[in-house]
Structure 1
Amino acid sequence: MSLFSQMNVQCPSCGATQNIAAVGSVNADRRPDLRAAILDDTFQMMACEDCGTEFRLEPLFNYLEVEKGLWIAAMPGRDMPDFLEVEDRMSAVFDTSYGSGAPAAAKAIGQDLKPRVTFGWPAVKEKLVIDGLGLDDIKVEMLKMELMRRLPEVPLAPGTELRLTGGGDAALNFAWIETVGETAEQSFSVDRMLYDEVAGNEAGWAKIRARLTNGPFVDMQKLYMGEGRAA
C-alpha cells in the first residue's frame, strides 16, 4: 500500500508551520493516480494556509510498481553528492524488502524488479517517462552522453541536469532542468533513431555501461562526481 504520515513543515515564504501528509511509500499498482501526479508535477505540492504560497516537499519515499518492474528510492536532490552512501543504504532496504533477506513471496516479486535510486523530482519523474516510452534507462543515460558530444552548447553545471521529458516514435524530447526550482532552462528534440544507434553499439558503450550500472544510481551525473565505486 501507499503510506503517508503527518508531519510539520515550515512555509518557505512566511515561515508558518503547516501540518501535512508526507509520503513514505507509493504503490503505483494500487494507486495509479500517484504515478500520474508525479508525471504532471503535482505530487506533494502544498499551499501555505497562511500566505497561500505553493511549495513542494522534497522527494523522500520508495516507489513500487510491480507490473512495470519498478522499485525506486526517490531521494532529495541535495543528497546526490553522497550517492555512494545512499546507494548502500537503499540497496540494503531493497535486499530486506525484496532481495536475499526478504520472505520467499517478496523475494519472488523482487526477481522482476529493477532497483533504482534517484535524486530530486526531475530524476524520479524521468524514470517514469522512460518506462512510459518503452525505453531502457541505462541506454537513455548513454544517449545523453552522446548528445553532449554532439550538441553545439552544453549548459552542464552543478544543479543543472539533462532530462528526458517525453517523446514518441519519431523523436525524443530533452530539457536542461534546474534541479531545485525544477525549471526547464533549454529544451530540444532528437530523432529517436539516435537512441537505437546507441542501443545497438553494445561493445562501444561497454565500459560506460559498466560504470553506470555499478550501483542502483543509474545516472550519467555519477560519472562526473569523482572516481565512484570500485569495480
Structure 2
Amino acid sequence: MSLEKQIKHNCPHCNTEQNLIIYNSVNVTIEPSLKSKVINGKLNIQQCTNCKKEINIISGFLYHDMENQLMLNFSPDSDADQISKSEMLSELKEKGYIYRIVDSYPALVEKIKLFDLKINDKVVEKVKSELSLMLNSSLNEVVGKTDESEINIFFDKYDKGLFKKKLSFIFFLHPSQIMKIDYNIKKLSKKDRAKIFDLETLRN
C-alpha cells in the first residue's frame, strides 16, 4: 500500500501556511493511477486554500512496483542508508527485488522507464558514461572547460526498428536546452548485448 504524511508548508505564490498531505511511499501495483503522476512529476500537487494556485511538493519517497519486483528510493536531500540497511529491504532482495537509490527526479523517471522496458540499467549507465565523455569533450573544445559545463544525460526511450535497434537519450546543460542523441545497440560489447535485456542478472 501507499503511505502518506502531513506537513506544513507555505504556499510559494501567496506565502500562506498550508497543511499538505504528501506521499512517502507509492505502490504502483496496488494503486496504478499513481504511476503517471510520478512520471509526470505531479504526485504531490495540491491547491492552495487561499490563492487557489497549485502547490507541487518534490520530496523523497519510495517507489514500489510489485509486478516488476522493483523498489526505487528517491532521496534528493535525505540519508538513504537507514532504508538500505533495513531488514525489510534485505528480505525483498532475497525474493529477487531490484533496489536503487536515486538523488534526482529525472534519474527516478529514467529508472522507471528502463525497468518497464525490461532494460538492464547497469548496461545503460555504461552507455551514458561513454556518451557523457564524448559530449563533454566536444563541449570543452567549443566553449572550454568550466564548472558549469557538465552535461546531464538521461535515457528517454528504446526504438526497435526493423534494421536498427537504438537507445535514445536526452541531454542538456540547462533544462531549457534539451537535445537528443541515439546509441545503436550494435555498438555494445558482445557481453553487454547479451545482458541489456536480462534483468535476472540484477536480482542476484
TM (norm. structure 2) is: 0.74
Gap change, CA 1:87 and 1:40, over 3 Å in 2:
closer
Q: What is the number of residues matched between the two proteins? A: 182
Larger Rg: 2
Match of 2:48 in 1: 48
Match of 2:9 in 1: 9
Q: Is the 8 A contact 2:45 2:56 kept in 1?
A: yes
Q: Tell me whether 42-51 or 112-121 shows the greater mean CA deviation.
A: 42-51
Match of 1:175 in 2: 170
1:92 aligns with 2:85: yes
Cα distance in structure 1, aligned partners of 2:56 and 2:96: 32
Q: Is the 8 A contact 2:149 2:173 kept in 1?
A: no
Choose from 143, 147, 153 the match for 2:139.
Answer: 153
Q: CA deviation at 1:108?
A: 6.3
1:144 aligns with 2:144: no
* Structure 2: tracts of 5 or more residues without a match: 141-145, 193-201
Match of 1:25 in 2: 25
Identity of aligned residues (%): 21
1:63 aligns with 2:55: no
Matches within 5 A, 1:66-81: 66-76=66-76, 78=77
Q: CA deviation at 1:88?
A: 2.8
SS in 2 for 1:168: strand
Name the aligned partner's letter for residue 139 of structure 2. E
TM (norm. structure 1) is: 0.66
Q: CA deviation at 1:22?
A: 0.6
Matches within 5 A, 1:103-122: 107=91, 110-122=94-106
SS in 2 for 1:112: coil
Deviation readout 1:14-49 (Å, 9 max, x if unpaired)? 221122211011111111111222122322223433
Q: Tell me whether 153-162 or 122-131 shows the greater mean CA deviation.
A: 153-162
Name the aligned partner's letter for residue 162 of structure 1. I
Gap change, CA 1:28 and 1:109, over 3 Å in 2:
farther
